[in-house]
Amino acid sequence: MKRPLIVGNWKMFKTIPEAINLINIIKAGIHKIADCDIVVCPPFTALAALSEAIRDTKIELGAQDMHFETEGAFTGAISPLMLKDVGCRYVILGHSERRQHFKETDELINKKMMAALKYNLVGILCIGETLEEREARRAFEVVKQQFDQSLKNLSAEEIERVVIAYEPVWAIGTGRTATPEQTEQMHSYIRRLLNEHYGDSIGERVYILYGGSVKPDNIAQLMGKPNVDGALVGGASIKAESFIQIVTNALPQELQDSPKR
């Protein structure tokens, strides 16, 4: 089992004071947990303050999106250089909300991924099917297409700096989680794609996270599956107690240090 990676996607929530308040509670709650990697992805406006607030902790910072150019006349956009500048190590790319509300295509996401890697950011690529696609039995086909196109032209060395998040769209923010079996089925499929494209030893090392209504009471079961290496958490990541519990419960029982269970 890999060391679990838990990423909090705060979406468009939290002003700067609210973000600082949340991170301070999270910091206190997880300081004894040594065996889990933790990333928080606040809105752009809170990145600088959080970068400061998590200094000297093991929590890392990520952004929720970025432009693919380094700089230029792109009103409203934020570049990979700027994310590095503010202290980000991660960036979420191709989240289904970006695909749906901002019309992001796999081609655009691929450009962003290449740019992220150029700047030594870890790109968290989100892929996943809609309910309609699952019901039409197209889930695997859709995920393969997103995988192939969003990761086009990436070398084996580059894929090691990518994290894949399988997020079935029908499970995001709906309270409806994919079952551990459905999750493992898709994760092992993604693992197979990785192994085929980049060779087994590299493919096995790439992290595959699950996202979609992850909660303190379902994380352990999901993490129990061999190809689930962590989680991308939305709603439950902006409540300190539930995020702390998710991080705690993501670990095997013997590594859990928190007495509060």
Instruction: Give the residues lining the site for ligand PGA (CB under 6 A).
Output: 9, 167, 172-173, 211-214, 232-236
Taking Cα atoms as reference points, which of 94, 187, 191 lies closest to residue 146? 94
Of the pair 62, 203, the CB lying nearest ligand PGA is at 62
- Minimum Å gap between C-beta 9 and ligand PGA is 4
Task: Tell me the closest approach of the beta carbon of residue 175 to ligand PGA, in angstroms.
Answer: 8
95 counts as catalytic: yes
Closer CB to ligand PGA, 95 or 198, in the complex: 95
Tell me which of 95, 104, 129, 184 is the catalytic residue. 95
Nearer to ligand PGA, 173 or 226 (CB): 173
Q: Is 31 a catalytic residue?
A: no
Q: How far is the CB of 133 from ligand PGA (least distance, A)?
A: 17
Q: Cα separation of 106 and 225, whole Å?
A: 28
Partners of residue 210 on adjacent β-strands? 166, 231
Contact by Cβ (8 Å): 8, 238: yes
- Residue 192: CB partners within 8 Å, gap ≥ 6? none
From 60, 104, 129, 167, the catalytic residue: 167
Note the Cα 210 to chain centre separation in Å.
8
The answer to whether 32 and 13 have CB atoms below 8 angstroms apart is no
Kindly list the catalytic residues.
Answer: 95, 167
